[in-house]
């Protein structure tokens, strides 16, 4: 009976240890989706929130990527009307921030309106329990993009 309890305690301790190690492995992924920038661009003083995330531990954002079915373009104009500046997606806790632009739609290639952007390797640190937000930062007036998937890769500090 004692051996059985001892083995049970050892097994539980081992599982908890593995679980703790698994939670610190990485990278991890936080995602967001924007149907159309127009739904988030208003005359607010602060960029509208697309998604929120509050990590229980300190994290480092290591890469931000986006894929848009329709890249930035001036609404009501031909697709070759480029935005300047383009709208951006910002990762922020209100103090620290990182933004990536949504590129202008192209007029060549197999999917001429589809665009992507990649920050490449970055290291943007946020403290534990930071109230993180993905926000839309408007570009030129009338500039919109749509069907945008945003991936934020991060590691646990």
* Whole-Å CA distances, 115 to 62, 101, 112, 118, 131: 21, 11, 8, 11, 29
- Please provide residue 100's backbone torsions phi and psi, each rounded to the nearest 5 degrees: -130, 135
Q: List pLDDT tens digits, range 24-47.
A: 667 899 999 999 887 777 655 567
For the segment 104-151, what is each residue's pLDDT rounded down to a tens digit?
987 776 777 899 999 999 999 999 999 999 999 988 888 889 999 999
Fold of 27-156: Jelly Rolls (2.60.120)
Q: For residue 45, how many C-alpha atoms fall within 13 Å in the half-sphere facing its CB?
A: 0
Of 98, 77, 74, the closest CA to residue 86 belongs to: 74
Listed by start position, the domains of the chain span 27-156
Q: What is the reported pTM?
A: 0.79
């Amino acid at each position: 009976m004692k051996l059985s309890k001892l083995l049970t305690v050892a097994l539980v301790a081992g599982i908890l240890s593995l679980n703790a190690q698994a939670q610190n492995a990485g990278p991890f992924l936080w995602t967001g989706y924007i149907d159309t920038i127009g739904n988030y661009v208003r005359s607010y003083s602060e960029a509208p929130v697309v998604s929120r995330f509050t990590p229980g531990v300190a994290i480092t954002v290591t890469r931000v990527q986006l894929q848009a079915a329709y890249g930035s373009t001036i609404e009501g104009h031909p697709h070759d009307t480029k935005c300047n500046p383009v709208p951006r997606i910002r990762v922020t806790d209100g103090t620290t921030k990182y933004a990536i632009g949504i590129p202008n739609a192209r007029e060549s290639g197999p999917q001429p309106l589809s665009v992507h952007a990649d920050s490449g390797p970055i290291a943007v640190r946020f403290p534990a329990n930071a109230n993180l937000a993905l926000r839309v930062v408007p570009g030129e007036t009338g500039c919109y993009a749509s069907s945008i998937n945003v991936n934020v890769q991060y590691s646990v500090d």
